[in-house]
Structure formats: structure tokens, C-alpha cells
Structure 1
């Protein structure tokens, strides 16, 4: 709760920091617009009150859809000579030494270590950042470990400064400038844009969308992939697709939502699905580990107050790039399940990867493109395009509260005994937690359900995330009853509950096992019960996601 209040404080400061520019037109959204719904830029080089041009970098309108009910203030981008974004190339030959690339100076391209036939990544930061951020360096390092590619860091730090409304305007121009660079790389050395993958965080996500749109509308080129990391919400939510990142900006657009709480509650990222695949770790908000106090973050950052405060204020927002970075070289599968809501996902109502022709589970993060490739093979291009034009696809997964974040997915069903003793006891109020044991280790204790009254004969089911344990062999079930000021919770003897069995299903291991302790169904509060596979087993294989790596 405290962290999300801090997010609200941070976002409020963003808006309080903006000053109204003289070029803003108050009622501009009421003017007639020639907008055709496709072009980000007005190609007519005519300067007017609501249109400004920057030579080779196009013209920019303040008319609809750039000013509307969702975006009542709109500004022109600052002059290119002021912003001067830089593009640093990193390869395995120069993993930490920047090689600047300049589209107006092709010699910088010829003299670089860029390999035109290899995949190219472009990383774009967000508001109040620059290209020298530690997370960008780590993301670059992981990408170069993964493959012998080209990583270009788009440093638009000057343009990302306050006010926020100006930074929002600036990414339109930086997007165009980045597209010009890509076109130059194609023309001069043969870089293929279909093998270019843009990764953008917050405002950088929408910036990446402008790159893709410019490549298509101005140069007739199609970008291969855009990964939007918690795309910024203010001034983008509720706007036309052309104003924000959308699926038409690249052949494949995947989105990671980690701070999608409503803006009034402190959320910095968008909640609406805007890609081909939209991933919602932990429901897209309230990320595990982000509810700790500010001093915990300062300690993690080795005593740095500035770094600790920054991480504390934006914890949910930055989880998006932390999750993506881990997914690049992790052996953990990072499986996500398609579902209509986080509530239904955690209730276990979507625990089936056989839906939609076996395509209802996808790998999260860097390997999400494998899901798209599987779908293309299974459905064919025309059907694939029809399916993804018809509705958004939302995928959910569970992470841990610290690195490594990846978790395996388990569906746990607890069956309260309906025996005579259980009926005579008439149920109990409390909560469960479970530790799953297997051939490769065990999970931590994972909380099950909210504290509630458990009736005899009732069944309770929940999806949880824990470490991978291999083939499940047994579990430890913990029951806890806590007394409070409510007289109904008072007990003169230790509280207890009768459990007949627990069904555990592992999505990744494709295993279902029923566990019990038939000689003693009673579990006393504060005491752990070890449950083994039932004597009359109820085991079935659940067909699951097939690894196509």
C-alpha cells in the first residue's frame, strides 16, 4: 500500500513539474482534421499554429488525435538540435565500449563492428532516464550472451527531462529519428528491418511504436518485433492506436504489464491490452517484493539513498525490465497461461494448455516469439491474423519477490474431510500454506486461499507459483488459526481441521498427484502435516505446453 501511495506521489510530481507551453492550443481537439488514421506524421512541410516541421524529420500536428479528451494538453517536440539522441552500438567485439552510429555520417557505420546479417536490438529508456542506466547495461549484456547480435542503445536523455508533457511530445520526433537511422543501416550495409527487435520501457515503449509506424508509412519497411515494457499510461491510455504502441507497429508486438493499477491509485503503466500478446505477471500490478519499506530498498542498493528511493518509488514499474532480462538466458520456462482475468487464473479456471489447439500457454518474455511462430505453423498466416484482429489475448504468470523471479505453476485443491469427526467438529476458521517436495528439491511455503471458514466436505482450489521440484513426491501442509479481538475466533483448545486429501497439479511437469494421510486426517494449528501419495492413487497426466525451443 505504501509503495503504491509513493507511485502516486511520483506521478503527481511529474504533472506538477510541467509548464504550459505557448504553442499549446487549448481547443485544438475541436478543429477539423485530415488525419487518415495511419500516419504519425504530416508529410506536408507547412508551418501553422498547430503544425510544426523539422526538415528531414517530418511535420507534427497538435490536432486530433494528438489532442483529445484523454490528452487535453499537447505540445510540439523540441528541436532535433536540442535533443540530439545518440545511438551506441554494442556487440561481442565491444560489449561495454560504445560505438556511436550517426545516420548523417555513414563512416560511423562502416567502421563499426555491426554485423548486418545478424539480429539487431534497439533499447529505449523512459522518462527521467538516459542510456547509461544499469538495467540497460545488464539487458545488453544478457542479449549478447544469448546471441552474437547487434545491440543499439537509444539515449534520448535530454528529451526525457521534465516536464512530462514535453517528454511525451519528444518521443514522436525521436521515433522518427530512430527510424531514419534504421533506414540508413538498411541502405548502407543491408540491415533487414524484419530482423530488428525494439525493446522500450515506459515512454520508450511508445517511442518504439513510433519507430515502427515511421518505418512503414515513410519508408515502406516492416519492423520485426517490439517488446513494450510497462508502456506509460498518462497521455496514452484511451487514445487512438496511432498515438500509442499498437499491434500494427511491428510483425509481432508483445507487452509486459507490471504497474497497471489505475493512475489515481499510483499506477504508472497501461492496463489495457495493446499488443498481439499481453503478459500480466501477478495480475499486472502489486508485484511481489514491492510492498517493503524504503529502508529495505536502500539496503539492497548498498546504502544509496538516491538509488534506493528511486527503486522504492517505481518498484512495480521497473519489474517489467527485470523480468524480461531474466527471461533471456534463464533455464526456467517462464510459462504464462491465457485467461480472461487474474481472478479466473488464480482460481484455476484456465489451467489447461490444450485450449485453442494447444496454444493457450506461452513462454513469457524474450521467448514469447516462439509462441507466435507455433501459432503461425498451426493456424496459417491468414487465420492467425484473423484471430489476433478479433480480440486481445491476455496471459498471466506468477513470479517471486526477488531474483530469480521465475516460478513454476501449480494448481492445488484442498478437500476438507466429510468424515463423522469432521462433521461433528463443524469446520474451522483459518488458513493453509503448502510446501511441495519433489525429486529435484522443494518449494518455499506458499499461502493458499484467504483466511476463511472451511466447511466439512468443501473443496478449495488455487493456483500458486513456486520453485521447480521435478516429479512431485509429497507435500507438507500447514494449518494456522489466529485469534483476534473477534470472540468467534477464541479457542480454549488448539484449533484443528480435518483434511481428506490434497490434489496437486504441475503445469510444467505435466503431473497430477493426490496426496493424503488416511491414518490421521486431523491437522492441528501450528503443526505441519506430511502428506504422501494416496494408497488408491488418482494420477493422470495433464498434457501441457510443448517446449519448441
Structure 2
């Protein structure tokens, strides 16, 4: 009867294709214990109901200090219930950390494994790796639909953990890109049981099909999904087709390194983000600015000598004009609610801004350099730069950030930059030196005759207020 096998395979393929097309057009579906899923809201024509759980084969792996690698049956959860947990290495007396990879990612990717290792080194915890790579591949719109189902699967597992003695406040979900949106669905699942996650860290949450104007809050990551929601934005954009992450704040605290858009040292293009929205096919962690959130997060976990410090900037409209010019750079010792340390639950709330270095280590010592232009200086146009020499290293400050490059006498010009951590201090740098370079504009951009700059004084300030 072997001659029937090809025909049987063809029949199975046709049946699965028919089911796929039917599901594509459906706006509601129910899956046993996971409940029902409905497609609603704006852009619902781009969405569909999630695939069957059997097709997605979501897996959870529990790692502990005693069993740090996802290798065998004792670290893998076969089902999302108490029975599977009891047969695993799960310890209800320890805090729980969940790591969720992004679109096109894998639970054994270098970033996920590095985060797992760093967490276990710092904390005796249950670290759960969510393997949803089958659900997160293929068409992006398909992965978006599957994200809610995966969130419910993980959420039900966490509810089972709570019944075994885990405190919901001790559960921390870390999600990258589309995985950050999964974290939001996990939080919603716990809320449906009268519980609330302790914490969510969103690493540049995916924006496409999750913009606030397209969905209600319960269908996307927002501050109500946990007691403390911290978000790191690295690849947002005000333009729909440019940038993979959210630019709008969604958490209790939202950090915007370098304004939360194109990161220094990256060469991301508008074409790349647009192509992703058209083709719906890419590995989100492979995009430099988007993936930078991983690099910052891993440094945050492991760095012993530097902290990512964010500054509030009320009324900020443009990062370059308002923050980089030093308008919001202040002494954090005077008002701790105006500054926040990434990774720590402090007093600060709202949007916080910072600058980083273009290469690893990204964390830097943020400094504000100010130059007072003498009234003797006539109106001119050009590029004014300062190189600060401190020890064996140097830090560059681009003092005029305007595209016009206009410089006039009697003004203060300031800029914030990140130096190598710990390289500038009152104790170590009693004699700092700086080189000021002025490059006049040429051609049509030139103003007047001779181009000279006269300076009155130079100042340098750190976040402690030291000058």
C-alpha cells in the first residue's frame, strides 16, 4: 500500500491549506483551555487569528544555578500547568525571570543565553526561556497574531507557579521587540486571574501593528501590565515606515538612549525598515539600532563600573535641540526624582533621556561641555568642535548641532556627550585639556568676510554638578 503515501501526503497538504485559508479569513477562534481570540480594531484586515497551539509547539525551559543549561526533560516544561512544573527543576521559593525573544529569533540565541547567564550569576532565580520560534517566524502579521496565544500560554504557566507558592510580585518578564508585546499579553493573562506581574522590561517593543492609535491598551504593552514597566527605546520613528520600535512612551519609565532613534555607530536605512513592512520577513535582532537595546540591556546586567543614567526633560520636542544642547542636564544629587538608573526601580517616572557611546561599552560618563562665545565674535557659520583630553583617552563634543551652523557672539553653546566610564573625575583630572576646532562654512553657506571665533571661557559638568 506504499503507493498511497504520496496521495495521502497531497491530501494532507490540501486539507491543511484549506484550514489555513479559512483561518486567515476568520475573526474569532477558540482553543480549549486558552480561551477565545478575536480580531478587532483598526488594521484588523492585516491581522488574523492565531495558529493552533499544536502547530506552534511553544516550549518553556527552566534554568537555575544548579541546572543552568536547557538540556533535558527536567528543564523543559511539556505542558503549561502545575504537573509539568512539579516534574521540573522549578523552585517556587526563588524569583522568576522570563526571557522572550523577538520576531525571527530563537530561545538559544547569543543574546538570550547571555542574558540568562548574567541573571543567574547575579541572582539565585528560576530563569525561563520561552521558545516560540515556530510562532515567531514567517509572515510578520502571522507572528503578531500568534503573540497573544503565546502570551496566554506563558501566563497560565505563571499562574500555576503562583499556586505553588511563587509571589507574582517576584516575576519579571523581559521581552525584545515582538517579545516585548508578548510580555504585555502575559501581564494581561495574569490580570484575568486577579494577579499582577511584578515587573516587565521591554527592549525596543515592536511598533508595527502595535501603534496606540490602532489598538486598545489591553492588546499591546502598556504600564498596566505589571506593577513596574520599564522600556528601552532604541529604534523608534515618527514616520510610519522608518524604525522597528515604538517611539511613544508606554511604561512607568521609558528610557530613550540617544533620543530613542538611530543609534550612534549604526548605519540603518529608511529602505530597510520600509522593506520589512512590505515583505514582513526579517530577523528583528539583526537590525543595528533595534538590536542595540539588547546590547544596552546586557551591559546593564553585567557592568560594575557604569550605570545608564536617564534625565527627565519636561516639554522636550526635539532631542538634539533640547537634550543634546544640555537644557535638561542637571545634578541628579539634588533631585533624584528627575533622574533614573536603568534597571533600578527608583523615584523617577515618565520619559528619561541619555546619550551613549557609539561602540561597546555603550555606557558612558555623561558630561556637558559649554563654551561661551565672546561678544567680539561676528555672526558666522560653520562647525565648532571640542576634543577633551583626559588621561589616555579623548571625548569629542560637537557644539553646534543646527544644520545651519550659525554662531554669534555673546552666546553659550553646550552639548552633552558620553566619555569612557570613570575617565573624568575631580580626583583624577585636575588638569584637563581641550582642543577647539572651528571649520568655517564655504560657498553659499558662508557669512561675511573673515571667519574668526573668540571664546570667553569653557566649562565641563558631570551629573553630580561637579565643574
* Aligned twin of 1:194: 169
Query: What secondary structure sits across from 1:497 in the alignment?
Result: coil
C-alpha distance in structure 1 between counterparts of 2:46 and 2:87, whole Å: 43
What's the CA shift for 1:437?
A: 4.8
Deviations along 1:200-256, one digit per CA (max 9) or x if unpaired, are 111111111111111111x22111001111111111102210110111110000111
Match of 1:463 among 412, 416, 424: 416
Aligned residue for 2:326, secondary structure, equals coil
Distance 1:61 1:251 in 2: 26
Aligned partner of 1:398 among 313, 336, 355: 355
Distance 1:72 1:428 in 2: 55
Task: Mark the CA change 1:320 to 1:292 in structure 2 (over 3 Å): closer, same or farther.
Answer: closer
Describe the SS at the equivalent of 1:224: strand
Which of 182, 186, 201 is equivalent to 1:227?
201
C-alpha displacement at 1:121, in angstroms? 0.6
Aligned match of 1:253: 229
From 397, 405, 408, give the equivalent of 1:446: 397
- For residues 310 and 446 of structure 1, do their structure 2 counterparts lie closer, same or farther at Cα, with a shift above 3 Å needed? farther
Q: Does 1:415 align with 2:372?
A: yes
Distance 2:175 2:97 in 1: 10
Query: Contact 1:483 / 1:490 at 8 angstroms: preserved in 2?
Result: no
- The structure-2 alpha-carbon separation of the partners of 1:353 and 1:103, relative to structure 1 and needing over 3 Å to count, comes to farther
Query: What pairs up with 1:111-260 in 2 under 5 angstroms?
Result: 111-188=87-164, 190-217=165-192, 219-237=193-211, 238=213, 239-260=215-236
Q: Does 2:408 match 1:434? A: no
Normalising by structure 1, what TM-score?
0.70
Q: Report SS of the residue matched to 1:445.
A: strand
What is the TM-score with the length of structure 2 in the denominator? 0.82
What residue number does 2:34 align with? Answer: 57
SS of 2:189's partner is: helix
What's the counterpart of residue 501 of structure 1? 457
| Shift in Å, 1:344 | 1.6
2-structure distance, mates of 1:50, 1:324 = 37
Residue 448 of structure 1: CA displacement?
A: 2.1
| Pair 103,182 (structure 1): closer, same or farther in 2 beyond 3 Å | farther
State which of 83, 105, 112 in structure 1 corresponds to 2:56: 83
Is 1:278 the counterpart of 2:254? The answer is: yes
* Residue 344 (str. 1) matches residue 322 (str. 2): yes
CA shift for structure 1 position 395? 0.7
CA distance in 2, matches of 1:201, 1:475: 42
Task: Tell me: CA distance 1:105–1:275, structure 2 relative to 1, closer, same or farther (3 Å).
Answer: closer
Contact 1:87 1:100 in 2 (8 A): yes
The separation in 1 between residues aligned to 2:114 and 2:338, in whole angstroms, is: 31
User: Partners in 2 of 1:441 and 1:410 — Cα distance?
Assistant: 17
Indicate how the Cα distance of structure 1 residues 164 and 292 shifts in structure 2: closer, same or farther if over 3 A, else same.
Answer: closer
Per mean C-alpha deviation after superposition, the further-off stretch among 496-505 and 478-487 is: 478-487
Aligned position for 1:289: 265
Contact 2:102 2:136 in 1 (8 A): yes
8 Å Cα contact 2:396/2:417 also seen in 1: no
Structure 1 gaps, min length 5: 1-19, 26-48, 294-308, 376-387, 513-549
For residues 437-475 of structure 1, give each alpha carbon's deviation from its aligned partner in whole angstroms, at most 9, with x where no partner exists.
Answer: 55x765422322237243232221222222231225323
Equivalent residue runs for 1:486-497 within 5 Å? 486=444, 488=446, 496-497=452-453
SS of match in other structure, 2:155 = helix
TM-aligned CA deviation for residue 487 of structure 1: 8.3
Q: Matched residue of 2:185: which SS?
A: helix
Counterpart contact for 2:398–2:415, Cα < 8 Å: no
SS of the residue corresponding to residue 298 of structure 2 reads helix
Q: Is the contact made by 1:103 and 1:180 (CA closer than 8 Å) also made in structure 2?
A: no
Using the TM superposition, give the Cα deviation of residue 311 of structure 1 relative to its aligned residue in structure 2, in angstroms: 8.5
Distance apart, 1:362 and its partner CA: 0.1
Q: CA, structure 1 residues 487+347, in 2 after alignment: closer, same or farther (shift >3 Å)?
A: closer
Q: In the comparison of the two structures, how many residue pairs are matched?
A: 419
Q: Which residue of 2 is the match for residue 73 of structure 1?
A: 46
> Following the alignment from structure 2 to structure 1, what is the Cα–Cα distance between the partners of residues 178 and 440?
46
